[in-house]
Amino acid sequence: MPGALFDTPFTVGRGVDEISTSRERLDVAVIHAFLAESYWSPGIPRETVERAIAGSLNFGVYRNGRQIGFARVITDGATFAYFADVFVLPDYRGAGLATWLMTTALTHPALTGLRRCLLVTRDAQALYARCGFTPIARPERFMEITRPDIYRTGSD
């Protein structure tokens, strides 16, 4: 485990906005509410979000102290990182916050010099391309187990 790289808060400011890795500042209610309505994790239980946060390097975006965005990174801090659950609340979009979030995260000491960084997106390829991401060069090498309806309960 990267240890101190995960435990030492990393904070960057820009005007009234701030990005921080401090777990204590995360508003789990805001994160859960967004993710439970997102296309990639509809209905996700709060307990699952809490476990995911506990096992990840997390970046909160704050405006005047209020959480307005989030990114979660699963990483070994040495060779690989997977970016997940990246969002900016709808009322705050269009001001470059998502690009700032991603470029800031990529400068975190645990995420520099990695051999591979991945993410999956349905519709934000242009945003991630601005941060250096490209389509997978050899997708035939990648495999997955996917359970898109794992959080849905009962019949609709």
Candidates 123, 40, 48; CA nearest to 84 is 40
Predicted confidence (pLDDT) per residue in 94-133, tens digit: 999 999 999 999 999 999 999 999 999 999 999 999 999 9
Q: What is the average pLDDT across 56-85? A: 97
Q: Alpha-carbon distance 82 to 73, whole Å?
A: 6
With a pLDDT cut of 90, the percent of the chain lying above it is: 86
Residue type present at position 12? V
pLDDT at 97: 97
> How does residue 1 score in pLDDT terms, banded at 50, 70 and 90?
very low
Q: Tokens 């000491």: give the residue.
A: 109
| Residue 118, strand partner residues | 82
- The answer, as to whether pTM is greater than 0.85, is yes
- The CATH classification of domain 4-141, taken from the options 3.40.50.2300, 3.20.20.70, 1.10.287.130, 3.40.630.30: 3.40.630.30
